[in-house]
């Protein structure tokens, strides 16, 4: 009986309620960009770039509120992993009503053509550890929104205009050449698939699986979680990741060697994205 009542209520909610609740976040009148990193190494170049930062604390989470390229920004450490990223995204959106949220960090390279310092702008992001694990292996499935109870697609995609801004910013920046054993190489910037899960991938088998099953270019631990919350709360988002390691047997060692370089490159692109957002005409910002 109780189950029947639940099913009727669910059917009613699915058919008659709007797909998202009315109390979604509206951007503040002055555009505000929030930039996340998972841990301090990723955030150092951003903290150095913001001017007039003031510290604000919400539930013990620290936010640096300041200006970057003339735009109001908040730089924040989300913590590592999907739950932390989701929690901090929800708190931040509820409290500050940002215009957009950018995750700026490092990732393991899955695409064999990517090397430390290269950048992936996520055109798609997916949670690689959400789904059914059977004898046949992992079947990745879309999550379900707790608001609408509808299933999300496996791949979440950022707002097309924000993605275009990121691409334009990528064409403008000049990343420094990287010294390698084979000589200098220039870092690449690609649009690609970023897979997210609560695992630091240092396994050739897992790396191959992520490439085959999802077409992943990079793997990290926060992006798709932030994207899922932003989708439900209706805030545009972007994930920018620079490669710190190759997600295989050398990953832990590479991570130590290349984190600073990768963090620097991801931050350089993110700062240019903010500059481009700041330079957009007001009409365009308002979506006219």
> Which residues would be at the binding site for ligand SAH (CB under 6 A)?
38, 80, 105-108, 200-201, 219-222, 244-245, 247, 251, 255
Contact between 34 and 162 under an 8 Å Cβ cutoff? The reply is: no
Q: Please say which residue, 105 or 192, places its beta carbon nearer to ligand SAH.
A: 105
Cβ-closest residue to ligand SAH?
108
Residues 207 and 201 sit within 8 Å (Cβ to Cβ): yes
Q: How far apart are the first and last CA of the chain?
A: 50
Beta carbon of residue 108, minimum distance to ligand SAH (angstroms, whole number): 2
Q: Shortest Cβ distance from residue 111 to ligand SAH (Å)?
A: 13
55-74 burial, b at 16+ Cβ within 10 Å, e below that, comes to: eeeeeebebbbbebbebbbb
Least separation, in Å, of the C-beta of 246 and ligand SAH? 8
To ligand SAH, the closest distance from the beta carbon of 122 in angstroms equals 12
| Residue in this structure with the two tokens 């496996």, named with its chain if needed | 154
Q: Phi, psi at residue 159, to the nearest 5°?
A: -55, 130
- Given the complex with ligand SAH, which of 31 and 116 has the nearer CB atom? 116
Q: Which of 232/245 has CB closer to ligand SAH?
A: 245
Question: Parallel, antiparallel, or unpaired: how do β-strands 237-245 and 119-127 relate?
Answer: antiparallel
Backbone angles phi, psi at 115, to 5 degrees: -135, 165
Considering beta carbons, is residue 76 or 277 the nearer one to ligand SAH?
76
Q: Cβ of 143: how many Cβ atoms within 10 Å?
A: 19
Please say which residue, 237 or 255, places its beta carbon nearer to ligand SAH.
255
Catalytic residue, from 118, 209, 245, 254: name it.
Answer: 245
251-279 helix and 160-172 helix, angle to the nearest 10 degrees: 100
Residue 140 CB, shortest distance to ligand SAH, in Å, is 16
- The verdict on whether 42 is a catalytic residue reads yes
Look up 222 and say whether it is catalytic.
Answer: no
Active site residues: 42, 245
């Amino acid at each position: 009986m109780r189950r029947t009542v639940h099913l009727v209520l669910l059917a009613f909610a699915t058919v008659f309620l709007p797909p998202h609740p009315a109390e979604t976040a509206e951007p503040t009148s002055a555009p505000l960009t929030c930039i996340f990193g998972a841990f301090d190494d990723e955030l150092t170049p951003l903290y150095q770039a913001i001017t007039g930062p003031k510290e604000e604390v919400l539930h013990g989470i620290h936010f640096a509120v300041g200006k970057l390229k003339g735009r109001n920004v908040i730089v924040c450490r989300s913590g590592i992993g999907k739950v932390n990223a989701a929690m901090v995204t929800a708190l931040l959106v509820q409290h500050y009503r940002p215009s957009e949220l950018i995750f700026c960090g490092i990732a393991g390279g899955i695409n064999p053509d990517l090397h430390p310092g290269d950048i992936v702008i996520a055109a798609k992001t997916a949670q690689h550890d959400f789904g059914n694990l059977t004898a046949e292996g992992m079947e990745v499935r879309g999550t379900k929104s707790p608001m609408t109870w509808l299933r999300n697609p496996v791949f979440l995609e950022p707002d097309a205009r924000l993605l275009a801004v990121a691409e334009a910013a990528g064409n403008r920046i000049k990343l420094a050449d990287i010294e390698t054993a084979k000589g200098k190489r220039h870092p690449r910037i690609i649009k690609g698939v970023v897979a997210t899960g609560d695992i630091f991938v240092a396994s050739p088998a897992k790396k191959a699986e992520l490439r085959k099953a999802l077409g992943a270019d990079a793997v990290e631990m926060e992006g798709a979680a932030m994207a899922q919350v932003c989708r439900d709360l209706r805030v545009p988002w972007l994930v920018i990741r620079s490669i710190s390691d190759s997600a295989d047997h050398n990953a832990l060692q590479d991570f130590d060697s290349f984190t600073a370089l990768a963090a620097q490159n991801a931050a350089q692109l993110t700062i240019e994205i903010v500059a481009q957002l700041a330079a957009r005409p007001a009409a365009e910002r308002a979506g006219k």
